Amino acid sequence: MYQSHVAVSLYVETFKEMTLNQIVKGQIARITNISGEDAISIRLMEMGLIDGERIQLLGKAPLGDPLEFAIRGYRLSLRLNEARCVEVELV
């Protein structure tokens, strides 16, 4: 039984980092990186998505795009392609 618990813990730690579009409603994550050097990445950083900031998924539109987040005391809607640029880890 102990070995199973260790294996599950290692599995969870291995997949702790993900992109913002992969978290589920209600989860809180910490931003670890904004990938890319294009205009979308720069715009995301200008909107307050910076390393170390906590962000929570509040909900998704009926077809899954856009996504609504809470960050820095305000609500922010992002399209799926924008959310894929934001690397996060669960807290």
Domain range list for the chain:
17-90
DSSP state of 22: G
Its pTM surpasses 0.85: no
Instruction: In whole angstroms, give the CA distance from residue 86 to residue 57.
Output: 13
pLDDT tens for each residue of 45-81: 999 999 999 999 999 999 989 999 999 999 999 999 9
Nearest to 44 by CA among 52, 53, 34: 34
Q: What is the CATH number of domain 17-90?
A: 2.30.30.90
